[in-house]
Chain A
Amino acid sequence: MKVSIDNLQIAVEDILREYGDVVYKATDDGLKEAEKVLVNNLKVASPVGKTGEYAKSWRGKKGKGKKSLRRYVGNTKMVPGKNGEVPLSNILEYSPIRGKPFIKRTYEQSIPAMADAIVGKIKSEG
């Protein structure tokens, strides 16, 4: 491709934009893979009650706008309390009386696998 000196700035901007799009997509796809890793690990680590509903209630969500390269993973299971419903994950993770913490620990243990998933995905998209 030949670019005249007059159009050099526009051509460079186009290339950078295209490169930025590629990097954005690869990162986004990598994060999607990392999200899957974390959701799966949390499912495995979740306490199983009578229904196993809690373990099945892990969901990932993509951030919006400037936070679009972020993933949020949470559990949708709510349980009734004295003052309305409370997320079961809050009880398990933080209650000194009824808790059985595993979320933070699972997240920390998942970091290497999540990093591998991101790198693997980016490499595969070369």
Chain B
Amino acid sequence: MTDIRDLTQRALDNALVDDAVRSFWQRKTDTEGANPSEYIVYTLDSDTNESYADNSPLIKSANVTVRYYYRTDLLDSYSGRGKVKAREIEIEAAMLAAGFTVPFGPSDTGDIDNIGFGVTVFECYFDRLVGA
């Protein structure tokens, strides 16, 4: 069955690694050559059984939360704000292209870790057949 974490990592890396924007599962680690102003942390929040036959699950639905971190200084300039918006579009497109749905789009959550980085959250869902 599809490995959701691997799928997410590949989708984000394929879209963002050229700009040195690194993606991390659960927590950020120090990475050489990484863009110091932007990074991503994603988590697999749930992977629930959605449909059953003969008491066995037929479909599973995974919920991945993608958090895009950007230095809040970027919001001080027109070009910086444009860069953040462009990146949000890029992230959403990457997740959609990988087969996720992003029903709520991007959501501003503020500096949730109190580290001087703004965060945009994407709630992503991926349904797949068990055994596929």
Contact = CB atoms under 8 A, between A and B. Distances in A.
Interface of A: 81-87, 90-91, 94-99, 101, 104
A94 B118 contact: no
B101 interface: no
A52 B114 CA distance: 22
Nearest to A79: B114
Contact of A83 (B43, B116, B121): B116
Contacts of B26: 96
B21 to A, nearest CB: 17
B45 A90 contact: no
Chain B at the A interface: mostly helix, strand, loop or mixed? Answer: strand
Given A94-B121, A96-B27, A82 B43 contact: no
14 contacts: A81-B111, A82-B111, A82-B116, A83-B111, A86-B109, A86-B111, A86-B114, A90-B109, A96-B26, A96-B41, A96-B67, A97-B115, A98-B113, A101-B45
Interface in B5-38: 26-27
B130 interface: no
B65 interface: yes
B112 A95 contact: yes
Contact of B115 (A82, A85, A87, A94): A82
| A83, A85, A87, most chain B CB atoms within 10 A | A83
- 9 nearest interchain CB pairs? A86-B110, A90-B109, A95-B112, A97-B113, A81-B111, A91-B112, A83-B72, A81-B114, A83-B111
A113 to B, nearest CB: 18
